């Protein structure tokens, strides 16, 4: 299962939702819900895809780095800001994309992480939390 944290809807989120369609997804629209979901024992999340809007959200993700340590982390950063990128790398993400360019490759990365090809059909679905 994939935890997808995105606090707001925009063209980046819409594109990523289309890429997530083949998978079972728990969409969290609040940071506290995402954190609670990851704190649950046996939460079943294999991947956490988190859209970081600003420095404050990066601070919150860094504060819960123990919770994301056991999942494959994909971060979508707002831009190529060197400070934000350095802080993101401390979390050990499997992939970093940027909202201003390159987020379209997230689907390919997810495919490889989940070990499926686009020709395989899977039962997908999304629940918004």
| Lookup: tokens for 115 | 């070990």
pLDDT of residue 77: 95
Q: Which residue has the tokens 């490889």?
A: 112
pLDDT of residue 119: 43
Instruction: Please give the angle made by the CA atoms of 21, 32 and 29, to the nearest 5 degrees.
Output: 35
pLDDT of residue 126: 53
Domain count, the chain: 1
Burial of 75 (0-12, 13-18, 19+ CB in 10 A): buried
pLDDT of residue 118: 45
| Lookup: tokens for 87 | 């802080």
| Lookup: tokens for 99 | 């909202």
Closest C-alpha to 72, from 27, 31, 28, 38:
38
pLDDT of residue 70: 87
Instruction: Please give the angle made by the CA atoms of 14, 20 and 21, to the nearest 5 degrees.
Output: 95
pLDDT of residue 127: 52
pLDDT tens digits, one per residue of 69-121:
889 999 999 988 899 999 999 999 999 999 887 777 898 999 899 885 444 44
pLDDT of residue 103: 78
Distance CA 87, CA 90 (A): 5
Q: Which domain holds residue 74?
A: 2-128
Rounded to two decimals, what is the model's pTM? 0.85
pLDDT tens digits, one per residue of 22-68:
999 999 999 999 999 999 988 889 999 999 999 999 999 999 999 99
Give the domain CATH number at 49: 3.40.50.2300
pLDDT of residue 51: 94
């Amino acid at each position: 299962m994939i935890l997808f944290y995105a606090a707001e809807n925009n063209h980046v989120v819409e594109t990523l939702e289309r890429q997530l369609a083949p998978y079972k997804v728990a969409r969290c629209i609040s940071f506290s819900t995402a954190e609670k979901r990851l704190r649950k024992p046996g939460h079943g999340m294999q991947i956490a895809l988190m859209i970081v809007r600003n420095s404050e959200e990066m601070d919150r993700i860094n504060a819960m780095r123990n919770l994301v340590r056991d999942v494959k982390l994909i971060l979508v950063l707002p831009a190529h800001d060197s400070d934000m990128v350095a802080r993101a790398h401390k979390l050990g993400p499997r992939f970093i994309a940027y909202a201003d360019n390159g987020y379209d490759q997230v689907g390919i990365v997810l495919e490889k992480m989940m070990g499926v090809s686009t020709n395989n059909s899977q039962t997908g679905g999304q629940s918004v939390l």
